[in-house]
Structure 1
Amino acid sequence: MFKYLKNDIPASIVVFFVALPLCLGIALASGAPLFSGLIAGIIGGIVVGSLSGSKIGVSGPAAGLAAIVLVAITALGGYENFLVAVVLGGIIQLLFGFLRAGIIGYYFPSSVIKGMLTGIGIIIILKQIPHFFGMDKDPQGDFAFLQVDGENTLTELLKAINALISGNVSIGATTVAIIAMAILILWSNVLSNKGKIFELVQGPLVAVVVGILFYVFTQDTTFAITKDHLVSVPVPEDFSGFLGQFSFPNFAAITRADVWITAFTIALVASLETLLCVEATDKLDPHKNVTPTNRELLAQGTGNILSGLIGGLPITQVIVRSSANIQSGGRTKMSAIIHGFLLLISVIIIPKLLNMIPLSVLAAVLFIVGFKLAKPSTFKKMFSLGWKQWVPFIVTIIGIVFVDLLWGIGLGLVVGIFIVLLKSFQNSHFLHKEGEDVDDGKIKMTLAEEVTFFNKGAILKELDNIPSDSYLEIDLINTRYLDYDIIEILEDFALKAKERNIDIKLISKRGVVENPPSFIEFFELRPKSKMGL
């Protein structure tokens, strides 16, 4: 864990600056106290980071849960009642981990996972453009298409473009954002290769320091940045005020059915989002580490229990912070843990200094993160792989951009399953015919290694097309699994074959049979069963 501190410390600083506005923004978009987002970020970094088996994943409050939290707080009658659901959701996640449900994440097609990464990258870019020009007061953690103020991603973007064209942008926010972007590009493309000092001190840290200095020295000028375009960390007056920011669950509500329904919803959505993020970050990881998914569910469950107990939002592993960690060279879980401690220390010691950071500077940092996730080369590569990869990929992106993360993934998965079914129906490997161009009437049909009810349509169609007065050889030598539905089709065909003067020769490892009177009896099957041959 300590071997790569020279990589992990700089990466943790970048993740800290990415996480800070997202923790606050997600809390605001969720209708929860701002401090609740910071609690979730701190526990996601320190606790989940310590328990997780992921070397590069970073956990914290997730934008995908914001809508659920917003509705649940009102429906359950207050934030303290909602915290009970968060604690119970964590316990349910522990149960998922013990039941080894982590394997679910591996059943999502690669095209959907890549679409998820690209879609999130596009969302980050679109959401940060208004912040870049100081034209959007919405929270930076609001990643859904429909926003908290009734606007949507496109209308906010159009407003920013119109403001840019008319020159009605925030001059100070735009200027410091351009400076920050220049620093980030210079650092990444030029200075990082000039010496170890430029690797240790990351460009985002320099950009943030410049942003704070810019804010301080331009307060009484035309370049002044208003406070609604700065980070807004709660600032307690004293230690008792700091402790007063924590909330605690009202366990009197634990017997309510709606609390348990909310808990199961949180557990399911948080677990799914975590598993998808694990799959995505493992694909992004240049060192190709593999995260133990069941251990991840146990870590997330523990984190959610602790977060709920002290007033924090639900936690998941999150792709924005994880990808920022990977892009910044993070190597071990120490990066996630240190970022959690940085959040904790900063909100205790320097909240006033944090509140001098312009959001437009952080928008520039996130813009770079988004671009690296949604590179044009990714679109070109996926298109070159053919429509079976391209269609689920692009549908996932469209769903994420125009609805939200889970809708996009769900749509991509549905399309992916449809393509699998379609290709299963068409796949000649399940039904290979030979000798059709020979006039001796002999036809050989070879079934694949595994034949299921998905192949019923293709097999039934080919059997119906076999001409009368033919000799059909059905080869099952390599078939290891034959669904009962397929055997029923063969049974029905055997009856029709007698009427159409079609002779059947059945070849399998059990022997060779001419015109079997019953396929079911041959395989010694009971109705509704399935047979491994």
Structure 2
Amino acid sequence: MFKNLNKDLPASLVVFFVALPLCLGIALASGAPAFSGLIAGIIGGVVVGSISGSQLGVSGPAAGLAVIVLGAIASLGFESFLVAVVIGGAIQILLGILRAGVIGYYFPSSVIKGMLAGIGIIIFLKQIPHAFGYDSGREGDFSFFQPGGENLLSELLNMLDHISPGAIIVTLISLAILLVWENVLINKNRMFTIVPGPLVAVLVGVVYFLLTRNTEIGIAEAHLVKVPVPESFIDFTSQFSFPKFSAITNPQVWITGITIAIVASLETLLCVEASDKLDPFKRVTPTNRELVAQGTGNIISGLIGGLPITQVIVRSSANVQSGAVTKMSAILHGFFLLLAVLVIPVLLNMVPLAVLAAILFLVGYKLAKPALFVKMYRLGKTQFLPFIVTIIGIVFTDLLIGIGLGLAVGIVTILLNSYRNSHFLHKEEVDSDLHIYKMVLAEEVTFLNKGAINRELHSLPKDSQLEINIKNTKFLDYDILEILDEFAVHATEKNITITIVTKNGEVVNPESYSKFFITNANA
């Protein structure tokens, strides 16, 4: 892992600056102490990163669990909630041992790409207020609907009444540094590949804050990162919380733990699939091992007062785009979070949120490039519809609902294709009085194909001949046999002759189709 440190170290710094405000913001959105978000980020980096087989995935507190955590803390209390986090982690380890990680492979590629693009759009939109100095929304809260009847669009409109010149200046300077660094300087000198552009942007932002403090173009303290600052070691240790294990007999604790395990596992598996698609080396993450890693992280996080952990696509995509090669980047970002809390919390509280907004602008844009939409559209409806529905669902609801909607559209698309492609009906013109039709059945014909086949059979004209070819058919559902038997009655009334071409080319005219197929099933 250490031989790629020249790429992993700069990437880890970028992920650190992206993760820091997200850890704090998600904790606040969850109704938990701010320090609990940092604990989850540290454990997600150091512990989960070490155990995981994912090379580019980064774990930490997830916005997708914020609503569940908020309700659980309100009803159980924070110490009892931590017991649920530990239970959830233990269940995740059990799921990994039972090899439940295969679930992640059952999501279509179009849905996963839609998830990435949807997250990219949300990241971009949510950072616009921070770029203009309007920070009413909590960092890490990616929901479309906001407290007090507000939503993402109304927040953007409200931003126009609270524009901060200093924030806009810092955003523009940071974007200029990032774009020039990535597109020009990095190709001119090796030094620029070692020192990450986002770190330079952060340092410039801190200097700007110090130089313009208390001026009209300065950055207000409300627009800065806010890290807890302990005054002593005892003050630092007092920020840790511990589970109240006497609550383990409470059924609600178990329900919460099971919910956390299911939602966190599903979100992790989806992010694993997405981050693997972003990996330029196309490595495949062992999903069962990932569940064990996440479960271990959640147990430790719960034991010391941290939030639930999942693999997070925002941090993972930032990691990929920053040039990380191995999981050392994720591990180092966890150590940076720990050092930041212990050593330089005062300095971190001078970092303008506008700088982080500029960094996330680029992350969001790269996830939702216009070229991706054009590519998916050209692939046809079967790819584009699940893709676009997933995006709309994620932007206007939340991650899991959006993925569920995209998956539902994908399943409907598969069913429609199965409905259409179960058979091929061809008409042969022998003479004007003789109508010969040949129906070739697919390899597998199930009850899903009943409607299409039934419609074709009943559309045949009187006094015609129907030849059903089953040479390539390997599975024929009993529902289809019933349809053939029922149609045989109508065929007699319409003077339609039915014959079957078997696998060996023999042509037969059975009295009962279901009995014929069942008798000859092995053949």
With structure 2 as the length reference, what TM-score do the two structures score? Answer: 0.96
Give yes or no for contact 1:136–1:156 (8 Å, CA) kept in 2: no
Q: Could you say what secondary structure the match of 2:482 adopts? A: helix
Aligned to 1:65: 65
* Cα shift readout 1:76-96 (whole Å, capped 9, x = no counterpart): 2x1111111111111111121
Residue from 471, 481, 487 that aligns with 1:487: 481
Report the 3-state secondary structure (helix = DSSP H, G, I; strand = E; otherwise coil) of the residue aligned with 1:442.
Answer: strand
Tell me how far apart the structure 2 counterparts of residues 110 and 309 of structure 1 sit (CA, whole Å): 37
Aligned residue in 2 for 1:10 = 10
Q: Which residue of 2 aligns with 1:351?
A: 345
1: CA distance between counterparts of 2:505 and 2:251? 60
Matched, 1:515 2:477: no
The alpha-carbon distance between structure 1 residues 507 and 85, as it changes in their structure 2 partners (threshold 3 A), is same
Q: 1:461 aligns with which of 455, 458, 467?
A: 455
Does 50-59 or 505-514 show the bigger shift?
505-514
Aligned partner (choices 226, 232, 241) of residue 235 of structure 2 = 241
**Pairing 1:312–2:306 present:** yes
**1:396–1:408 contact (8 Å) kept in structure 2:** yes
User: What are the equivalent positions in structure 2 for 1:231-270 lying under 5 Å apart?
Assistant: 231-270=225-264
The 2-side partners of 1:90 and 1:436 are apart by: 64
Q: Match for residue 194 of structure 1?
A: 188
> Where does residue 23 of structure 2 map in the other structure?
23
- Unaligned ranges ≥5, structure 1: none
Aligned partners of 1:314 and 1:400: how far apart in 2? 21
2:336 is aligned, of 339, 342, 352, to 342
Check whether the contact 2:131–2:354 (CA below 8 A) recurs between aligned residues: yes
Distance 2:119 2:213 in 1: 35
Residue 280 of structure 1 and its aligned partner are, at CA, apart by: 1.0
Distance in 1 separating the partners of 2:363 and 2:148: 26
Q: Find the aligned partners of 2:410 and 2:63 in 1 and give their Cα distance.
A: 25
1:392 Cα offset (Å): 1.6
The aligned residue for residue 420 of structure 1 is 414
Counterpart position of 1:100: 99
CA separation of 1:438 and 1:311: change in aligned 2, threshold 3 A: farther
Cα distance in 1 between the residues matched to 2:394 and 2:34: 25
Cα deviation digits, residues 133-168 of structure 1 (max 9, x gap): 1112322101011124542111111122x23xxxx5
> By how many angstroms is 1:109 displaced?
1.6
Distance 1:525 1:29 in 2: 64
Give the partner amino acid of 1:335. Answer: S
- Counterpart of 2:210 in structure 1 is 216
8 Å contact kept, 1:480–1:532: no
Q: Deviations over 1:353-398 (max 9, x none)?
A: 1111111111111111111111111111112222222222111111
- What is the letter of the counterpart of residue 420 of structure 2? Q
Contact kept in structure 2, 1:137 and 1:228, CA below 8 Å: no
How far apart are 1:504 and its partner, in Å?
Answer: 2.2
Matches within 5 A, 1:57-456: 57-76=57-76, 78-148=77-147, 150-160=149-159, 162-163=160-161, 168-427=162-421, 430-439=422-431, 440-456=434-450
| CA distance in structure 1 between the partners assigned to 2:216 and 2:398 by the alignment | 38
Using the TM superposition, give the Cα deviation of residue 305 of structure 1 relative to its aligned residue in structure 2, in angstroms.
1.0
1:202-252 residue CA offsets vs partner (Å, 9 max, x unmatched):
110000011111112221322222221111111111111111111111111
Shift of 1:469: 2.5
Residues of 2 paired with 1:284 and 1:431: CA distance?
A: 38
Structure 2 residue 43 is matched with structure 1 residue 46: no
Q: Deviations over 1:87-141 (max 9, x none)?
A: 1111111121122111111211221111111111110111000001111232210
> What one-letter code is carried by the residue in structure 1 that aligns with 2:395?
V
Cα distance in 2 for residues equivalent to 1:438 and 1:111: 46
Matched to 2:30, the amino acid is S
Secondary structure of the equivalent of 2:112? helix
Q: State whether residues 135 and 222 of structure 2, in contact with CA within 8 Å, keep that contact through their aligned partners in structure 1.
A: no
Distance 1:402 1:525, change over 3 A: farther
Shift of 1:331: 0.6
In 1, the alpha carbon distance for the partners of 2:416 and 2:157 equals 40
Partner Cα separation in structure 2 for residue 47 and residue 480 of structure 1: 49
AA at the equivalent of 1:376: P
Cα distance in 1, alignment partners of residues 313 and 336 from structure 2: 19
Q: Judge conservation of contact 2:429–2:436 (CA < 8 Å) in 1.
A: no
Q: 1:491 touches 1:519 (CA, 8 Å); kept in 2? A: yes
Moved more, 172-181 or 64-73: 172-181
Matched, 1:34 2:58: no
In structure 2, what is the Cα distance between the partners aligned to 1:282 and 1:493?
A: 50
One-letter amino acid of the structure 1 residue matched with residue 259 of structure 2: T
Deviation at 1:181, TM superposition (A): 1.1
Provide the secondary structure at the position in 2 that maps to 1:516: coil
Q: CA deviation at 1:12?
A: 0.5
SS at match of 2:383: helix
Q: For residue 521 of structure 1, report the CA deviation from its aligned partner.
A: 2.2
Q: 2: CA distance between counterparts of 1:456 and 1:80?
A: 56
Q: Is the 8 A contact 1:26 1:140 kept in 2?
A: yes
RMSD after superposition: 1.7
SS across alignment from 2:134: coil
Partner Cα distance (2:335, 2:350) in 1: 20
- Compute the displacement of 1:436 (Å): 4.2
SS at the partner of 1:134?
A: coil
Contact map agreement 1:137 1:229 (CA 8 A) in 2:
no
Quick one: distance in 2 between partners of 1:484 and 1:94? 41
- Output the TM-score relative to the length of structure 1: 0.94
Percent identical among aligned pairs is 66
**Separation in structure 1 between the aligned mates of residue 378 and residue 181 of structure 2, nearest angstrom:** 33
Aligned residues: 521
CA distance in 2, matches of 1:356, 1:525: 81
Amino acid at match of 1:80: E
Tell me the secondary structure at the aligned position of residue 3 of structure 2: coil
**1:73 partner letter:** I
Q: For the Cα contact (< 8 Å) 1:505–1:512, is it kept in 2?
A: no
Cα distance change on mapping 1:348 and 1:492 into 2, 3 Å = same
After TM superposition, the structure 1 stretch with the greater mean CA deviation from structure 2, 194-203 or 382-391, is 382-391
The 1:525–1:119 alpha-carbon spacing in structure 2 relative to 1, beyond 3 Å, is: farther
